[in-house]
Amino acid sequence: MNTPYAFHSRRSPVQGQRGMVATTQPLAVAAGLEILAQGGNAADAAVAAAAALNVTEPTSTGIGGDAFALYYHAGERKVTALNASGRAPRTLTLKRLQREGMGEELPPFHPYTITVPGACSGWCDLVGRYGRLEMEAVLSPAIRLAEEGFPVAPVTAHFWERGVERQLSQALHGEELTIGGRAPRPGEIFRNPGLARTFRAVAADGKSAFYEGEIAQAVASVVQEAGGCLTQEDLAAHQATWDQPISTTYRGYRVWECPPNGQGLTALLALNLLEGFDVAALDPLSVERLHLQIEALRLAFADAGWYVSDPAFRNIPLAQLLSKTYADQRRLLIDPQRASLDQRRGTPVTSSDTVYLTVVDGDGNACSFINSNYMGFGTGIVPQGWGFTLQNRGHNFSLDPEHPNALMPGKRPYHTIIPSLLTRPSPRGEELFASFGVMGGFMQPQGHLQVASALIDDLLDPQAALDRPRFCITDGEAGGEVALEGGLPAPVLAELEEMGHPVRAVRGYGRAVFGRGQAILRDAETGVLWGGSDPRADGCAMTY
């Protein structure tokens, strides 16, 4: 069955009270709901859904990649940030790359782009700190899916085919994620016994099974066989970190992001700039509003491109970057009538391919969770017999030794994947308003701004906010081309181009550039949950 990739229908938001899960795959939603029904909470269900997504959407995510999470603890009314991104191998240096003729940029699928996979540590640490169930129970739905098989969803099948062509057909043991060398077709059953074996090991022995046991040996072996330098010692030294989240206020709401090395700072900088304009008075799809949003993001990307790096290696002036005073100064650079394609980073001074899922449980705990291989299947390299690919996050390092994000041994790269939360102040503390995110490379902070504005400025329900046509500065650069989604009025495209924005209309499978989001809102008075899931993917939001 060949279904056109077009949007003609509408969906109402899903409503419930006992708990809700929203992901890009219905089977992963079912896995999360199964865990909630067993007495698990948002942390347990988020990891169960993430593992199930590794099975059903390996084109985007997996235990061979990285993860970030924001967790809202309802009892404490507190948000915490989990950084489960990996670090560069200890023997990988700029001098080594220069000797080997790679002084300008790493090839995207080269084994040198493989950083330590951090996802497993994040799964285990999230459940260990906040969960109610054991990992054996949490991973059981994903193990069942991997062993018994599942029908591949249409959008996933499309990107699986592309991944076979780009990575799996050339990568070591990439055939483990194919059917006789080809991608599975829509509706075809795919089984992954190697991944089930991986999950069973983690369920039995926790993260040590991945970072110190047979899996670590297989990971190091295949990377070195491919010409990389990741070692078992690199894997054994890995630790996820619990960090203080960063936030800003936007029209009475507080917007939360993970701190650098993630790019959540970009969304907060842009929202600070946008707050100075009365965008609610402008038509949501008007050229006036879109121009202001694009310009705010151009300025935000100019700052983020310099300041987002590993804070263990460089001090980042976050308080100054996020101050309203700094936003006031930078906002003066926005011309309401004309695009500015040469924005430069500011200098604050003291007086800055993925799956996203979200779960809110019946107690009001929320987990905003994101997990990624990067560039689809990452490198496409598979540790033999274990059923998952290894990421290529190291491709985001700068090879300029003077850049804050320059490659260094043991360093985390600039990360595109970011989850988000919205809270509202109350006499009892911060009350959860929404757990949301939009995946997709440099689209993610842009998606956060567009969805947050729809929820706050336009009072949309989460499904309507996710359905709205989007724009994307495609390369995450201040002067980059703007992709505009089909559904935006044709005159708007022409007017944006007249204002100086380089624009491109995008339809069909090209809509992947606009990311795929999930959102769950919670009514603080009634406890009712409102869920939405992106129409650009195969998933849904569901309650029980």
pLDDT, tens digit (0-9, with 9 covering 90-100), for 267-289: 999 999 999 999 999 999 999 99
Q: Are residues 306 and 441 in the same domain?
A: yes
Segment 428-453 mean pLDDT: 94
Q: Does residue 177 share a domain with residue 222?
A: yes
Question: How many Å apart are CA 256 and CA 234, to the nearest integer?
Answer: 31
Are 305 and 447 contained in the same domain?
yes
- pLDDT, residue 350, reads 38
pLDDT of 218-249, one tens digit each? Answer: 999 999 999 999 999 999 999 999 999 999 99
Mean pLDDT of all residues in 22-38 = 97
Q: In terms of domains, do 233 and 249 share one? A: no
Tokens read off for 261:
């090395």
Average pLDDT over residues 434-444: 93
The DSSP letter of residue 250 is E
Q: Are residues 340 and 486 in the same domain?
A: yes
CA distance 141 to 535: 25
Q: Is residue 539, in this structure, part of any structural domain at all? A: no
Task: Quick: pLDDT tens for 90-126.
Answer: 999 999 999 999 878 889 999 999 999 999 999 999 9
Q: Residue 66 and residue 374: Cα distance in Å, rounded?
A: 9
Domain of 101, in residue numbers = 14-240+360-391
Alpha carbon 505 to its chain's center = 24
Comparing 147 with 5, the larger pLDDT belongs to 147
Average pLDDT over all residues of the chain = 94
- What percent helix, strand, coil does the chain show, rounded to 5? 35, 20, 45
DSSP 270-303: HHHHHTTS-GGGS-TTSHHHHHHHHHHHHHHHHH
Reported confidence tier of residue 441, pLDDT bands at 50, 70, 90: confident
Which residues are within 8 A (CB) of 174 and not within 5 positions of it... i.e. 6 or more apart?
A: 164, 167, 168, 377, 380, 381, 382, 389
What is the reported pLDDT for 415?
92
Which pLDDT value is given to residue 1? 56
* 466 closest CA partner among 7, 1, 4: 7
Number of structural domains the chain divides into? 2
Q: What pLDDT sits at residue 512?
A: 87
Concatenated DSSP letters for 183-203?
Answer: PPPTT-EE--HHHHHHHHHHH
211 CB-side CA count, 13 A: 21
Secondary structure string (H, E, C) spanning 394-430: HHHCECCCCCCCECCCCCCCCECCCCEEEEEEECCEE
Residue 400, both tokens: 């300029």
Structure tokens at 343: 């924005």
Please indicate, yes or no, if residue 269 is contained in any of the structural domains: yes
- 388-406: pLDDT as tens digits: 999 999 999 999 999 999 9
**235 shares its domain with 249:** no
pLDDT value of position 50: 98
Strand pairing category for 420-426 and 503-506: unpaired
pLDDT over 80 (residue 183): yes
- Residue 319: how many other CB atoms lie within 10 Å: 13
Instruction: Tell me whether residue 400 is in a domain.
Output: no
pLDDT of residue 510: 87
Check whether 497 has a pLDDT greater than 90.
yes
In a domain, 5, yes or no: no
Q: How far apart are CA 164 and CA 175, in angstroms?
A: 9
End-to-end CA distance of the chain: 30
Q: Is residue 270 part of a domain?
A: yes
Task: Tell whether the model's pLDDT for residue 349 goes beyond 50.
Answer: no
User: What pLDDT does 474 receive?
Assistant: 87
Is 525 within the bounds of a domain?
no
pLDDT tens for each residue of 360-392 = 999 999 999 999 999 999 999 999 999 999 999
Looking at residue 63, its amino acid is I
- Cβ atoms of 487 and 39 within 8 Å: the answer is no
- Residue 1: count of CB within 10 angstroms of its CB: 6
At residue 11 the predicted structure's pLDDT band, cuts being 50, 70 and 90, is: confident
* Amino acid 501: pLDDT: 95
The answer to whether 71 touches 104, Cβ cutoff 8 Å, is: no
Which amino acids are annotated catalytic?
A: 354
Backbone angles phi, psi at 206, to 5 degrees: 70, -160
Q: Is residue 345's pLDDT more than 90?
A: no
Three-class SS state of 53:
helix
Whether 320 and 196 share a structural domain? no
CA dist list (Å): 537 to 6, 26, 32, 58, 65? 11, 10, 18, 14, 20
Based on the fold, state whether residues 131 and 211 are members of the same structural domain: yes
Task: Calculate what percentage of the chain has a pLDDT beyond 90.
Answer: 88
Residue 272 lies in a domain: yes
The pLDDT value recorded for residue 34 is: 98
Residue 499 sits in a domain whose CATH number is 1.10.246.130
Mean pLDDT lowest among 263-267, 357-361, 426-430, 461-465: 426-430
Structure tokens at 93: 């240096």
Residue 351 above 70 pLDDT? no
Instruction: Give the whole-angstrom CA distance, residue 188 versus residue 166.
Output: 21
Q: Does residue 345 share a domain with residue 220?
A: no
The pLDDT value given to residue 196: 98
In the predicted model, what is the mean pLDDT of residues 150-174? 95
What φ, ψ does residue 406 adopt, rounded to 5°?
A: -65, 140
> Rounded to an integer, what distance in angstroms lies between the CA atom of residue 463 and that of residue 479?
31
Return the structure tokens found at 103. 């002084």
Helix or strand holding residue 36 (H, E): helix 26-37
Residue 2 pLDDT grade (very low, low, confident, very high; cuts 50, 70, 90): low
- 270 with 223, same domain: the answer is no
Distance CA 375, CA 392 (A): 7
pTM: 0.95
Same structural domain for residues 235 and 258?
Answer: no
Indicate whether 544 belongs to any domain: no
Q: Are 140 and 287 in the same domain?
A: no
Measured between alpha carbons, how far is 82 from 371 in angstroms, rounded to an integer? 12
